[in-house]
């Protein structure tokens, strides 16, 4: 048994019975992280001394039968856009100075600390999380554990790669247009973008209410556990939701029998999907039907909102760079510098017109979910492409949004959406299925995903074993 292949739920069972200790698990997770450092490049830094100290403290608590919380002793990684007390948060940018007190945790990090989690390190991100792949002027290229010539996706690519490698079963990611779900799909893990506000965020994202924080894990049960920990309000985030009405772990037990599921293979013919991805998603949808869900092929009633998304995204990027002097702007990722310039040319009226599109889309999806409990799509129309590129070679698109048409609409609407690994393509690369629910119904997304894992229809062979 490899401890690094176990879920957080299984690790906690082992701690409870004394089968193994948080120190053993942390040492093995750190070894996996170190092993993947040169080739995959998932980490900005490892916090080894702190991790082992926290693991020893956790082991002592478990020996006394007094765990500190729900994830005591479980190794966790944190995307390097979220504050981790005692360590710099550089956001993938040479414009951020390492010097400083760094004396505050982001809200979900603070919750994990209170629950006894062991922090292994900070994971890589493109600069300020601006794109759907993970490379930056600061840390270079993050690669896919399944094939290091391919991208891990982004912007939470380091977190996805870390979980896939076995360097901790839990990670915190952020998602402003797909940044949890994209790398989860490419790296064969589970990723959940919760309803906006379910997980508080501080400092606020420059991308505003597009940006969500959520779990990246080995399976849906681990995500439910993590969401029970981090899904609590924090006074630093005025937009945070009140506590959830119940435990997300308890909600897993409901199954899918009787749920009304809309299956949209291509958003009404708007998206060309690779055959291997389409087939994998179709098989998983058939499993949902076999488990008792009422499945109907149906498309949500909207056209591609990419122009409105670009307006909101590019103006957010411009805000990021607004106070940088010219010589500092020159060290930004060239693609980020380009969209900052585009955003700076947009007017308040442009922005408000994009908000109108967003409002209409939210209304349409609200009505859609009166008819259907869940919407199922591919997470992405493709599997992982060449590392070091924003778009696949020979793509007709210039920006990352061209190959992510299933993800960013649900940032505009703030709905919960997850990526579930449902198979491998002919090259051994993971494919993902997206499950979307109405706002505040994170429980339904997790229930459906968990049902697929329980049925053996979710999860893929780990890197090197496919």
Active site residues: 79, 155, 179
Query: Sign of dihedral through CA atoms 331, 332, 338, 342?
Result: negative
Q: What one-character DSSP code corresponds to residue 313?
A: H
Which residue intervals of 44-117 are DSSP H helices?
Answer: 48-64, 107-114
Nearest to 173 by CA among 459, 405, 403, 419: 419
Q: Would you state the torsion angle of the CA atoms of residues 145, 151, 154, 160, taken in this order, to the nearest 10 degrees?
A: -10
Distance, in Å, from the CA atom of 129 to the CA atom of 62, rounded to the nearest integer, reads: 37
Instruction: Return all residues near 124 (Cβ < 8 A) that are at least 6 apart.
Output: 41, 42, 43, 44, 80, 92, 134, 136, 139, 142, 157, 158
Distance, in Å, from the CA atom of 157 to the CA atom of 155, rounded to the nearest integer, reads: 5
Q: Which helix (H) or strand (E) holds 294?
A: strand 294-297
Strands 294-297 and 374-378: unpaired
Query: Sign of dihedral through CA atoms 381, 387, 393, 398?
Result: positive
Q: Which helix (H) or strand (E) holds 342?
A: helix 334-344
Distance, in Å, from the CA atom of 402 to the CA atom of 306, rounded to the nearest integer, reads: 9
Q: Percent helix, strand, coil in the chain (nearest 5)?
A: 40, 15, 45
Give the SS3 label for residue 173: strand
Distance, in Å, from the CA atom of 271 to the CA atom of 157, rounded to the nearest integer, reads: 24
Distance, in Å, from the CA atom of 313 to the CA atom of 209, rounded to the nearest integer, reads: 11
DSSP 243-276: PPSS-HHHHGGG-STT-EEEE-SSTTTTS---HH
Which token pair is 460?
A: 């893929």
């Amino acid at each position: 048994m490899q401890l690094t292949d176990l879920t957080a739920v299984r690790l906690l069972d082992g701690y409870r019975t004394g089968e193994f200790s948080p120190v053993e698990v942390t040492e093995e997770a750190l070894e996996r992280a170190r092993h993947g450092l040169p080739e995959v490049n998932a980490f900005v830094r490892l916090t080894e001394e702190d991790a082992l100290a926290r693991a020893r403290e956790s082991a002592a608590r478990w020996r006394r039968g007094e765990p500190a919380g729900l994830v005591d002793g479980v190794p966790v990684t944190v995307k390097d856009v979220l504050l981790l007390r005692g360590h710099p948060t550089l956001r993938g940018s040479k414009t951020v100075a390492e010097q400083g007190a760094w004396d505050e945790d982001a809200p979900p990090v603070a919750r994990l600390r209170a629950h006894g989690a062991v922090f292994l390190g900070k994971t890589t991100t493109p600069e300020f999380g601006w794109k759907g792949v993970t490379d930056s002027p600061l840390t270079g290229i993050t690669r896919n554990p399944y094939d290091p010539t391919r991208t891990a996706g982004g912007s939470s690519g380091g977190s996805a790669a870390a979980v896939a490698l076995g360097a901790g079963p839990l990670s915190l990611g952020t998602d402003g247009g797909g940044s949890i779900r994209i790398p989860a799909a490419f790296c064969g893990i589970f990723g959940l973008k919760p309803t906006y506000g379910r997980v508080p965020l501080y400092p606020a994202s420059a991308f505003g209410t597009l940006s969500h924080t959520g779990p990246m894990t080995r399976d849906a049960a681990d995500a439910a556990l993590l969401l029970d920990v981090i899904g609590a309000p924090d006074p630093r985030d005025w937009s945070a939701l009140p506590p959830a009405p119940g435990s997300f772990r308890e909600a897993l037990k409901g199954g899918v029998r009787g749920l009304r599921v809309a299956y949209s293979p291509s958003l009404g013919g708007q998206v060309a999907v690779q055959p291997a991805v389409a087939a994998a998603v179709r098989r998983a949808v058939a499993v949902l039907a076999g488990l008792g869900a009422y499945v109907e092929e149906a498309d949500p009633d909207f056209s591609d909102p990419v122009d409105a998304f670009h307006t909101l995204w590019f103006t957010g990027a411009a805000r990021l760079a607004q106070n940088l002097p010219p010589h500092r702007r020159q060290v930004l990722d060239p693609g980020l510098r380009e969209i900052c310039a585009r955003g700076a040319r947009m007017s308040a009226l442009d922005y408000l017109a994009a908000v109108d599109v967003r409002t209409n889309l939210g209304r349409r999806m609200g009505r859609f979910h009166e008819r259907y409990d869940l919407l199922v799509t591919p997470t992405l129309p493709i599997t992982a492409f060449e590392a070091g590129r924003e778009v696949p070679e020979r793509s007709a698109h210039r920006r990352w949004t061209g190959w992510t048409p299933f993800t960013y609409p649900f940032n505009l609407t703030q709905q919960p959406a997850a990526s579930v690994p449902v198979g491998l393509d002919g090259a051994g690369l993971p494919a993902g299925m997206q499950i979307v629910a109405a706002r505040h119904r994170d429980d339904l997304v997790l229930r459906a995903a968990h049902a697929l894992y329980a049925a053996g229809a979710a999860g893929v062979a780990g890197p090197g074993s496919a």
